[in-house]
Amino acid sequence: MKKNKKSLIFNLLIILFEIIGFILTIKNNGKISFEYYTEDSNILALGSSLLFCYYLIRKKDIPRNVQLFKYMTTICMTVTFLVVLFILIPMYKFDFNFFLFKGSLLYHHLICPLLTIISFLFLDKLDDFKRKDTIIALSFTIIYAIILITLNILGIVDGPYPFLMVRKQSIKMSLIWCIIFTSFDYIIALLLSGFKIMNEGGLLHGSVESK
């Protein structure tokens, strides 16, 4: 099976599972809560996969801005997956069942992030990303953090994540969290781009199927 067909299948699966996840979210909560990074990143994933499927079905080249959108989406979904795995689960007594397998979280914390990462690294046809592309791709996370921290300072929103509750911790701790997450996102962006380049290089030299 050609790479583009595999990419199309994975992006269609992402669309399907995202829709199922949001149906469960609305069913259980009555709404989509945009203050949650998880919800926002999964909305981005749904949008980027819809765009990819549009161009793949029409057998057109993927525009550069759509590729960059997919890069940004994959960063966000990777952050979602890793934060759940290494921060939220340990914070809440290692409740793997709740965070990874309950209701919509099965799709938004586990299945869709993994499908998005696999699709980006191994299947989606993308050009190499430059350093400035990495900065642009981080823009959503930075904007999200600025908005949520501001809303927390004003007392409009509480959290929704413990590390965003700036009114319940010292300014020093808030700054430390900001530095940690900015650096964390940047490293993820570089790793995703680097692994993508390495994988494409390996395929070009060692695979006839990808041609």
Structural domain span for residue 95: 3-206
101 is a domain residue:
yes
Is the pTM above the cut of 0.85? yes
Tokens of 95: 């409740």
128 is a domain residue:
yes
Query: Look-up: residue for tokens 């007594």?
Result: 93
Q: Are 83 and 89 in contact (CB under 8 A)?
A: no
CA atoms within 13 A on the CB side of 16: 8
Instruction: List Cα–Cα distances, 109 to 18, 80, 83, 156, in angstroms.
Output: 11, 7, 10, 26
12 is a domain residue:
yes
The DSSP output letter for 127 is P
The pLDDT, as a whole number, for residue 202 is: 53
60 is a domain residue:
yes
104 is a domain residue:
yes
211 is a domain residue:
no
**Interior CA angle at 123 toward 16 and 126, to 5°?**
110
The neighbour count for residue 170, using CB atoms within 10 Å, is 9
Tokens of 88: 């939220």
The pLDDT, as a whole number, for residue 83 is: 92
Tokens of 46: 């749904």
pLDDT along the chain (211 residues), means of 10: 92 99 96 94 98 97 97 97 94 95 98 98 92 91 91 91 84 84 92 89 44 36
Domain count, the chain: 1
Dihedral sign, CA of 27, 97, 100, 10? negative
Cα end-to-end distance, the chain, whole Å:
11
Non-local (6+) Cβ contacts of 133 within 8 A are 68, 71, 193
The pLDDT, as a whole number, for residue 190 is: 94
Residue (of 163, 184, 185, 187) closest to 175 by Cα position: 163
